[in-house]
């Protein structure tokens, strides 16, 4: 029976692989009329509405207010989402939980060390001045998310392992980490830059600190299940969405004040100062036309996670649908 299911799984993967290898002529076909995508990408949806480009999409869309790895994978598993946005960790966990997912677009940040996604909040009185001081400390940890892997990378950089610290599993939502630091539930926590700014402003007088980690943490992906990508009509629609996605990134950069006010203040509820700070923190998008470097970095992440969690490593290239490799970059160059 086990052999049967292994064979079945192998044949299913092979079948999907064959379906993904569409001829170039088929790949270039327009999106068939009536094609619909369910997309979880709230930030880009908002940008497309503000720019008016949303009315030009050559397919129908059901927009979902879903983003981030865990929620996106849950929606994929339920068949409720065709495309989702997130960091570099969710596709890895999808692979390990038998949810075949592929990357269809990748975004980095130019000058990433000066435009980090996260900074490390330090609790008042924790006596942490460098990452070597993390030994024996309590660190907020969210397995399955980018923040959790960042913690593992920081420990690796400092020459430490999980056995040298106390990892405290906490959800990385809203002000959970800030409250955990302030109450000394943890001594250190990775925080999105706007939360780190707010944390320092609120608790800096009590001795709270924020440390830069000096690592790249800027990869963002669009992902789609293989079951969706094997549908030629949906694959064509995703190809077009990737083009609109890339142009929306540039529109956001070209309208920083409008974006800060419309999205971060009116839609997300930030004050104007935090809104401008958050908008500026993204810097300029780097949308590569070649994924070799990204795949190599993804392999390092897979190997790190496999070593730290006891999972089996696998080739990072399996996570990427390279039919889409040039689509976003070509859209920005006018091709």
Residues 175, 111, 161, 307: is their CA dihedral positive or negative? positive
Phi, psi of 79 (to 5 degrees): 70, 20
- Among 151, 176, 211, the domain boundary falls at 211
124-155: pLDDT as tens digits = 999 999 999 999 999 999 887 889 999 999 99
CB 128 within 8 A of CB 188: yes
Reported as a single tens digit per residue, the pLDDT across 28-39 is 689 999 999 999
Domain containing residue 163: 116-211
Alpha carbon of residue 173 to chain centroid: 15
Pair 120, 170 in one domain: yes
For the segment 117-126, the average pLDDT, to the nearest whole number, is 95
State how many domains the chain has: 2
Residue 24 has pLDDT above 70, yes or no: no
- Band of residue 165 on the pLDDT scale cut at 50, 70, 90: very high
- For 330, the token pair is 């070509």
For residues 281 and 255, membership in a common domain is answered with: yes
265 & 225 share domain: yes
Least reliable range by pLDDT among 108-112, 141-145, 206-210, 317-321? 141-145
Residues 3/214, Cβ–Cβ less than 8 Å:
no
**Where residue 9 sits, what CATH number does that domain have?**
3.40.190.10
Compute the average pLDDT of residues 6-30: 50
Same domain, 120 and 241: no
Q: pLDDT tier at 18 (50, 70, 90 boundaries)?
A: very low
- What pLDDT does residue 27 have? 62
For 238-295, the pLDDT digits (tens) are 999 999 999 999 999 999 999 999 999 999 898 999 999 999 999 999 999 999 999 9
Q: What is the pLDDT of residue 145?
A: 84
Q: How far apart are the first and last CA of the chain?
A: 51
pLDDT value, residue 98: 94
Note whether 122 and 99 are same-domain residues. Answer: no
Together in a domain, 163 and 261: no
List, for residues 183-241, the tens digit of each pLDDT value: 999 999 999 998 999 999 999 999 999 999 999 999 999 999 999 999 999 999 999 99
Kindly state whether residues 224 and 297 are assigned to the same domain: yes
Residues 227 and 322 in one domain: yes
Instruction: Among 152, 183, 211, give the residue marking a domain's end.
Output: 211
Same domain? 24 vs 103: yes
Which pLDDT value is given to residue 68?
A: 82
State which of 163, 189, 211 marks the end of a domain.
211
Average pLDDT over residues 86-106: 94
Model confidence over 61-93: pLDDT tens digits?
999 999 888 899 999 999 999 999 999 999 999
Higher pLDDT, 216 or 334: 216
């Amino acid at each position: 029976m086990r052999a049967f299911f292994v064979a079945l799984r192998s044949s299913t993967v092979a079948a999907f692989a064959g379906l993904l290898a569409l001829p170039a002529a088929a790949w270039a076909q327009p999106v068939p009329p009536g094609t619909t995508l369910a997309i979880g990408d709230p930030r880009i949806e908002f940008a497309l509405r503000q720019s008016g480009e949303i009315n030009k999409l050559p397919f129908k869309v059901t927009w979902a207010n879903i983003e981030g790895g865990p929620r996106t994978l849950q929606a994929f598993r339920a068949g409720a989402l065709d495309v989702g946005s997130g960091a570099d960790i969710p596709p890895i966990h999808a692979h390990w939980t038998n949810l075949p997912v592929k990357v269809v677009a990748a975004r980095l940040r130019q000058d990433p060390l000066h435009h980090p996604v996260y900074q490390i909040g330090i609790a008042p009185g924790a006596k942490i001045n460098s990452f070597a001081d993390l030994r024996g400390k309590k660190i907020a940890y969210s397995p399955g998310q980018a923040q959790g892997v960042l913690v593992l990378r920081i420990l690796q950089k400092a020459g430490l392992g999980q056995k040298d610290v106390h990892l405290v599993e906490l959800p990385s939502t809203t002000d959970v980490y800030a409250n955990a630091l302030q109450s000394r539930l943890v001594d250190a926590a990775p925080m999105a830059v706007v939360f780190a700014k707010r944390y320092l402003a609120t608790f800096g007088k009590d001795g709270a600190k924020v440390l830069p980690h000096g690592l790249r943490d800027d990869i963002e992906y669009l992902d789609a299940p293989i079951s969706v990508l094997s549908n030629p009509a949906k694959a064509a629609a995703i190809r077009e969405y990737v083009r609109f996605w890339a142009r929306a990134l540039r529109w956001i950069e070209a309208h920083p004040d409008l974006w800060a006010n419309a999205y971060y203040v009116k839609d997300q509820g930030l004050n104007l100062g935090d809104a401008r700070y958050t908008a500026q923190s993204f810097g300029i998008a780097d949308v590569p036309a070649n994924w070799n470097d990204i795949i190599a970095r993804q392999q390092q992440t897979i190997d790190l996670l496999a070593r730290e969690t006891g999972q089996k490593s696998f080739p990072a290239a399996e996570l990427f649908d390279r039919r889409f490799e040039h689509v976003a970059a070509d859209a920005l160059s006018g091709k």
